[in-house]
Amino acid sequence: MIRLKDVEKCYANGAKAINGISLEIEDGEFVFLVGPSGSGKSTIIKMLTGEIGPTAGRIMINGYNMTNISSRQVPYMRRTIGVIFQDFRLLEKKNVYENMVFAMRAVGAPLGEIKRRIPYVLELVGLENKTRRLPGELSGGEQQRVAIARALVNNPETIIADEPTGNLDPERSFEIMSLLERINDLGTTMLVVTHEKDLVNRFSKRVIALEKGQIVSDHRGAYYDTSKGTALS
């Protein structure tokens, strides 16, 4: 579960990025987080992953209190989260399988679990026949599938996807979002940050819209147009 209660974030220059946000995302939910640039989406992601802390309020994720989490707890908390980025962030000199091994070794996974888990995850994302390919030998959509597999390989409770289709064409974008939906169907909580209205409208999911650091809409269905104050269909 993700829970934010009266969360605020002010930066050193005095700018208030988040202004009194409260929300709950239940285990197993699929949620889109939308809003214009500067609305606070990136700040929320950074707070959820422990990169920065809130100025005020309380943040809970997967049983960890991010407001006062200790440095010793952070690695354990991060094992419960998988993060997917727009720019893939793969190790260019390691092949697909080696990228997976690196992610599992980083959290101390035993060799037996590595050998068991990686083939399952690569088959799930449709890359079981490309394990020896380097990232540069893959298409953009395939590289994003590797990034999804890497986020999933340690069996996290929650996946946070930050503009996962931002570098892809519409067809590949739909494929990637369908894959995330399939992973969610297996029980993984999914929080997807996106600005792609058409994609959001094709998936009937919960949509949380931000503007100027505040929640302006929390509904199911269509993308919320903050400029008009309406959901678009």
Q: pLDDT value at position 56?
A: 95
Where are any strands of DSSP class E within 134-222?
A: 158-162, 189-193, 205-211, 214-221
Integer Cα distance of 16 and 212 in angstroms: 9
Collapse the DSSP code of 174 into the 3-class scheme (helix H, G, I; strand E, B; otherwise coil) and give the result.
Answer: helix
The type of residue at 127 is L
Q: Is 57:5 a contact under the CB 8 Å cutoff?
A: yes
Q: pLDDT value at position 233?
A: 43
Q: What is residue 79's DSSP assignment? A: T
Question: Which of 160, 218, 210 lies closest to 18 in space, CA to CA?
Answer: 210
Cross-strand partners of 190: 30, 159
Q: pLDDT value at position 222?
A: 76
Q: pLDDT value at position 75?
A: 82
Is the torsion defined by CA of 64, 218, 85, 99 positive or negative?
Answer: positive
Tokens 């519409």 belong to which residue? 170
Mark residue 231 as left, alpha or beta (left: phi above 0; alpha: psi -120 to 50; beta: remaining): beta
pLDDT by residue, tens only, the chain of 233 residues? 999 999 999 998 888 999 999 999 999 999 999 999 999 999 999 999 888 999 999 999 999 999 888 888 888 888 899 999 878 889 999 999 999 999 999 888 899 999 999 999 999 999 999 999 999 999 999 999 999 999 999 999 999 999 998 888 889 899 999 999 999 999 999 999 998 888 999 998 999 999 999 999 999 877 766 555 555 54
Q: pLDDT value at position 231?
A: 56
Collapse the DSSP code of 19 into the 3-class scheme (helix H, G, I; strand E, B; otherwise coil) and give the result.
Answer: strand
